[in-house]
Amino acid sequence: MKTILRWVFDRPLSKGTEISGQYRIKDVLGMGSYGITYLAERLDGSGPCVVKQLRRTKSWTSGGRKSFDREAEILRTLGSPAAPCLYDVLGSGRECFIVMEYIDGKTFEDLIFDEGRIFDERETVLVLLEVLRIVSSFHARGMIHRDLRIPNILQSKEGIRIIDYGLACSLTEVGETVYRHPEKKLMRSVSVKSDFYALGHFALFLLYSGYIPKTKEEKSWEEELSISAGLKAVLRKMLQIDPPYNSALDIIADLESNLSPRLVIKENL
């Protein structure tokens, strides 16, 4: 029944559709669990933008409307150059839109799977450090992202940018959803640890970009990946295999102190 309702009511807007006489839809960028994201143009000629539409079926629920309002408020107050700039919030009946900055860049999903980029250990650590510094600033503002996956982290000319704040929330927010799957629980918990857990998997995606299986036997990442003991120890704590980190600054310190000297020497060779 849910699938039928989505098919009937949640179909994307057609190319050329105008919103509030200010924006025109050019293409669909993606469809998530509660929103549909479009590339659009501003009719005043000031350039492209991104429009995120709350699914109509989600607008019928208090949870969906709350998620929409929360994402808009987070973008409004976050004030980080790593996040998209909020341009507008439009809501009329069951048609709700967030209009934000278009970021010219490639997601790490695009880089790995479409462009075939390979990230060695040094590159992975440098990217991870940059992302962690951004995430640390989010946490200092009392916000967690809770969806730090390769489609939501971009490489732009200005550096790393992070998008899709649909699951982001305040660290003081009381969790409402009970997740039965252990991994979902770790990814979505209202704790800084949820961001670290997600970034542990983000790092593994980068490290596996150059992995070539030698046998058909499936092994753990610790057996398959040829990485330093220092990075392995950091990832084990981020993934909560070992007692987890409580601060992004602690992860940054461990990465820099345990790995940087060896990586710097390698870079200078």
**Separation between Cα atoms, residue 134 and residue 140, nearest integer Å:** 10
Identity of the amino acid at 84:
P
**CB count in 10 Å sphere of residue 263:** 20
**Separation between Cα atoms, residue 266 and residue 227, nearest integer Å:** 14
Residue found under tokens 């479409």: 114
> Burial of 40 by CB count in 10 Å (0-12 exposed, 13-18 middle, 19+ buried)?
buried
**Separation between Cα atoms, residue 155 and residue 76, nearest integer Å:** 22
52 is in an annotated binding site: yes
Token pair, residue 236, equals 């084990």
Q: Using a CB cutoff of 8 Å and minimum separation of 24, what contacts does 65-69 make?
A: 65/96, 67/34, 67/166, 67/167, 68/34, 68/35, 68/96, 68/98
**Separation between Cα atoms, residue 248 and residue 241, nearest integer Å:** 17
Can you say which residues are annotated as belonging to the binding site?
A: 52
Query: Residues within the annotated binding site for ATP?
Result: 52
